[in-house]
Amino acid sequence: MTELSAEVRVQVARWRNLLVDAARCGALESPLDALSHPHWEPRELQALWWLRSESLLPVGVLAMRLGGLAMPRLSRLVDRLEDGGLVRRERSVRNDRRRVRVRLTDAGRALADQLDAQVQERMARRLAPLQGETRSALMDVLELWVQALTVQARTAEEVAEENAALASVPDELLRASAA
């Protein structure tokens, strides 16, 4: 482990123990995992839920949302949803037909709305043991945590973009600017 303060180590140990205890209670299972439908597979239903949540997703992002699904498998999944009239593919850039995004159709949105109602019901059952103010305080803390994670992710993205830009600069220019 990296050099952490004693306070952070204690907090990490507490968090780890809380996660273990929450898992024992079944609270860490994704509410998306239990989605079911007589015609559609769970992973297809999860894809519809993510598309409902984010409107339009590049196929690579959708693959990540589905747990790092391999592209050939994702393509088959999107094919099936498209054949079923639930999604449509859109080319994001005219000159680069490899860039594809996926969007819900009206029928897909209707099914995704039903799925979201199932997800919200499961989430409500998990929050039910907490009462009003305590539940509200938990949501406030989680919002702060997600905001901090978002800032951290943006910073990492910016660094990666800068590194990619530097990698594309010819070595001669870098040597000249260093001199």
Q: Are 10 and 102 in contact (CB under 8 A)?
A: no
Higher pLDDT, 172 or 69: 69
Residue 177 has pLDDT above 60, yes or no: no
Say how many C-beta atoms besides its own lie within 10 A of residue 76's C-beta.
Answer: 12
What's the full length of the chain, in residues?
179
What pLDDT sits at residue 174? Answer: 54
pLDDT at 179: 54
Kindly give, in sequence order, each residue whose CB lies less than 8 Å from that of residue 45, ignoring residues fewer than 6 positions away. 32, 35, 36, 37, 115
Per-residue tokens: 58: 């590049």
pLDDT at 27: 85
Whether the CB-CB separation of 88 and 105 falls below 8 Å is answered with yes
Q: How far apart are CA 50 and CA 47, in angstroms?
A: 5
| Angle in degrees, CA 17, 20, 22, rounded to 5 | 105
pLDDT tens string 76-131 = 999 999 999 999 999 866 666 678 999 999 999 999 999 999 999 999 999 999 99
pLDDT digits (tens, 9 = 90+) for 131-171: 999 999 999 999 999 999 888 888 877 877 777 776 765 66
Instruction: Determine the pLDDT at residue 168.
Output: 64
| pTM beyond 0.85, yes or no | no
Q: Which of 4, 96, 114 is nearest to 49 (CA)?
A: 114
Q: What is the pLDDT of residues 33-85, one digit of tens each?
A: 888 899 999 999 999 999 999 989 999 999 999 999 999 999 999 999 999 99
